[in-house]
Structure 1
């Protein structure tokens, strides 16, 4: 039962911190997006940007559910790994930070390129999937320095570390 609590608390903490960061940074600090538009951008991974933007609060709800599902899945991977590798709970600040870096790479260079967000559809076949991945890694998504540092910060400080701390606090003696 402690493992379940560690996963739920880690996923909830990471999900809340990450989405609040997105609301502020992609809202008043840069693009002026509303919270609904931020959530619709998450839903775009399933249905494409045009459909997500046209879906109103229904697609915002899909984005919110997707966001927390992903955060909880991220927590589950870490917590389950921590049951086998005690170092993950012994040094949660270090391993949480490093896990956040891995999550940054996975999300930005694998998950998002393979989603429907950019083209409106999932890759049709392995060749298209490979082309999308190659494009993501070859371009390394040129971001402004502040945006790059911000996305790395949120994945490390607001996702990886809270998950690792939850694993340490609730996952012991699992």
Structure 2
């Protein structure tokens, strides 16, 4: 059992690193006019508020830590739920799409409203909305589902 637990921990760690990195790259590409440093300061503003935007490298590092922490939480939760979820949804790709959508909903309607991130007021750009959802499906939901499926298939 220790090898299986170690293998699962390593698989989850690799999944967190993969999805966190893919999601960061997607954010950089989607927001290509905004420097990556500003993106990580924005993430840090969830905890530190508006003053994070004028912070230095420490604030950027906090944003990076929070970014990967979020990827870790979503990865760990999914790995724990995967055996039950795949029995319901049956297809690993469909599962990844559903999980990417669920991540978007949870982040936008559960997590972000309780953070100190400056709230956007006014019109929501439909294209930005679609880009954000598609990025989470491709860069987070689907890779997590594929990694979990691969892990569990090797176990049984």
Match of 1:60 in 2: 60
1-structure distance, mates of 2:8, 2:83:
9
- Count of aligned pairs between the two proteins: 150
1:155 aligns with 2:136: yes
2-structure distance, mates of 1:145, 1:90:
31
Give the TM-score taking structure 2 as reference length: 0.86
The CA deviation at 1:2 is 2.6
* 3-state SS of paired residue (2:118): coil
Higher RCO, 1 vs 2 (CA within 8 Å, ≥6 residues apart)? 1
The C-alpha deviation readout for 1:3-53, integer Å capped at 9, x for no partner, is 2123112211111111011112112xxxx211100000100100012x111
Q: Provide the alpha-carbon RMSD of the alignment.
A: 2.2
Alignment CA distance shift 1:93-1:154 (3 Å): same
Matches within 5 A, 1:113-124: 113-118=113-118
Q: Unpaired runs of 5+ in structure 1?
A: 120-135
Q: Unpaired runs of 5+ in structure 2?
A: 1-5
| Aligned residues of 2:13 and 2:72 also touching (Cα < 8 A) | yes
Give the TM-score taking structure 1 as reference length: 0.78
| Aligned residues of 2:100 and 2:140 also touching (Cα < 8 A) | yes
Correspondent of 2:127 among 146, 150, 154: 146
